[in-house]
Amino acid sequence: MTETASSSEDLIGRADVDDLEAILAVSNEDRDALVSHVEQTSEVIFTWDYDKGAKPSLEKLYEKAKVSMWNGETDLPWETEVDQEQVFVANMAQNNADGGFADFDVVGTPFEKWTDADWMRFGIESQNWMLSQFMHGEQGALLCTAKIVETVPWIDAKYYASTQVMDEARHVEVFAKYLDTKLSGHYPVNAHLKMLLDDIVADPRWDMTYLGMQIMVEGLALAAFGFMHQMTTEPLLKKMLRYVMSDEARHVAFGVLSLQDFYKELSDAEIFERQEFAYEAAVRMRDRFLQQEVWERMGVPVKEAVELVMRTPTRQMFQMMLFAKIVPNCKKLGLLDRNDKWLRHRFEELGVIQFEDWVDTADEYEKFSLGNGELTIAR
Ligand SMILES: [Fe+2]
Ligand SMILES: [Fe+2]
């Protein structure tokens, strides 16, 4: 098995997963372009088997989706006034935090001279950045899911995917509206996120779209939205995230339920390609959260800033939490332990294997339904 394995260099473009120089060397070249073209050559599949419910778990999900639609324009309190500075202060107070930097010594670092106003600006830029990346990721989900409608061979999956297309359009719409009307600036798509989205849409194998999008990107989004939903004191954002999460939980379930049986049939060599793909996606997502563009905009030396941030406990906890859904879902799909536990070892290196026995997302979507009140990310 190992002789066919790609080198770390081939997979993620560097030998050492923590090589910061290499990570930061990746930047978005065409950040000013209005559109981005990605070549892809997938086969479009018609099916003449219209037997609805042949895959009962997908049919159930489809029926659930039909009655769970909401309207981004009318169901959210857009009249809410959002003052980003006040929100920053309130969030810090509620979460007993100071921006996450109390836990390292700033003496001798670029942050030594930072005033409270600088920290405030950093908090606001971080929020602009975070929401911008979520919006770009949502567009990725929109395109990927439209592609799944074309490429998946089963009618129940085509039906379900079509509802997800509508969900994702709504998500792009509400994130864009929030950015435009409540926040104070956009960021272009992060280069690591864009590389990942390109890889996912360009891959001709239909299941790779699911693995990249529903399992990895949306698995991370579900955890990240949950974290932000818990942390924020801003009522409009809180409600918006709550609504988006009710959809995302179904989307991740769609990935797990679609791939579960299919992956049981694959050979070790085929599974290995999926394991590598999942690992590559995990690394890209971790890299993107270093938010290098924010440091650039704040005018501090990026590498130094990132090195410091990576060492803070708050940051490390956040980075790990992002994998709270991905790892159990990969386990459920049988991806952790095939081929001599290859992916398990990679997740050990990334420091996220401890989530393997947390709740997977195959049927957690009921719990995330609107009307079920408040949410926590369950163990
Ligand atoms: Fe979404
Ligand atoms: Fe989604």
What pLDDT is recorded for position 2? 44
Q: How far apart are CA 322 and CA 138, in angstroms?
A: 16
Flag whether 44 is in a domain: no
Specify the pLDDT at position 23. 80
Per-residue pLDDT at 182: 98
| Domain-embedded: residue 280 | yes
Q: How many CB atoms lie within 10 A of CB 75?
A: 15
**pLDDT band (50, 70, 90) for residue 99:** low
Ligand 1 geometric centre to CA of 6 (Å)? 31
- Residue 131 and residue 126: Cα distance in Å, rounded? 9
- Cα-to-centroid distance, 373 and ligand 1 (Å): 20
Classify 254 as helix, strand or coil: helix
What per-residue confidence (pLDDT) applies to 114?
87
Percent of the chain with pLDDT over 70: 94
- pLDDT, mean of residues 209-236: 93
Task: Please give the distance, rounded to the nearest whole angstrom, from the Cα atom of residue 369 to the centre of ligand 2.
Answer: 14
Q: What integer best gives the mean pLDDT of the chain?
A: 89
Measured in Å, residue 303 CA sits from the centre of ligand 2 at 32
User: Cβ(27)–Cβ(192) under 8 Å?
Assistant: no
Beta strand extents in 127-183 (DSSP E only) = none
106-120, 199-213, 259-273, 321-335: which has the minimum mean pLDDT? Answer: 106-120
Range of the domain at 139: 110-379
Q: Is residue 73 part of a domain?
A: no
Cα–ligand 2 centroid distance for 316 (angstroms): 25
Answer whether residue 197 is part of any domain. yes
Task: Give the length of the chain.
Answer: 379
Query: Does the pLDDT at position 374 exceed 60?
Result: no
Residue 68 belongs to some domain of the structure: no
What ligand has the least distance to the C-alpha of 219?
2
- Say what percent of the chain tops pLDDT 90: 64
Average of pLDDT values for 94-109?
69
Mean pLDDT calculated for residue range 350-376: 80
For 374, the 3-state DSSP assignment is coil
Q: How many Å lie between the centroid of ligand 1 and the Cα of residue 245? A: 8
User: Tokens at residue 301, please?
Assistant: 């030396």
Asked if 249 contacts 230 with a C-beta cutoff of 8 angstroms, the reply is no
Cα of 164 vs centre of ligand 2, distance in Å, is 7
Cα–Cα distance, 126 to 187 (Å, whole number): 10
Task: Tell how far the Cα of 379 is from the centroid of ligand 1, in angstroms.
Answer: 23
pLDDT at 308 over 80: yes
What pLDDT, in 10s, does the model give residues 43-68?
999 999 999 999 999 999 999 999 99
Q: How confident is the model at residue 102 (pLDDT cuts 50, 70, 90)?
A: low
Q: Give distance in angstroms: CA of 304 to centre of ligand 1.
A: 33
Least confident stretch, 194-208, 254-268, 361-375: 361-375
Closest-approaching ligand to the CA atom of 138: 1
Confidence band for 8, pLDDT divided at 50, 70 and 90:
confident
Assigned domain for 128 exists: yes
Tens digit of each residue's pLDDT (9 = 90 or more) over 119-139: 899 999 999 999 999 999 999
Q: Which of 318, 349, 277, 293 is nearest to 24 (CA)?
A: 293
How many structural domains compose the chain? 1
Is the predicted pLDDT of residue 86 greater than 60, yes or no? yes
- Centroid of ligand 2 to alpha carbon of 112 (angstroms): 40
Q: What are the pLDDT digits (tens) for 138-186?
A: 999 999 999 999 999 999 999 999 999 999 999 999 999 999 999 999 9
- CA distance readout (Å), 241 to 94, 231, 232, 295, 370: 18, 11, 10, 26, 11
Phi and psi of 15, rounded to 5°?
-80, -35
- Considering only residues 48 and 286, tell me which one the structure prediction assigns the higher pLDDT: 48
CATH number of the domain residue 379 falls in: 1.20.1260.10
pLDDT for 1: 43
Give the pLDDT confidence of 328-345 residue by residue, as tens digits: 999 999 999 999 999 999
147 C-alpha to ligand 2 centroid (Å): 14
Give domain status of residue 70, yes or no: no
Q: Is 362 a member of any domain?
A: yes
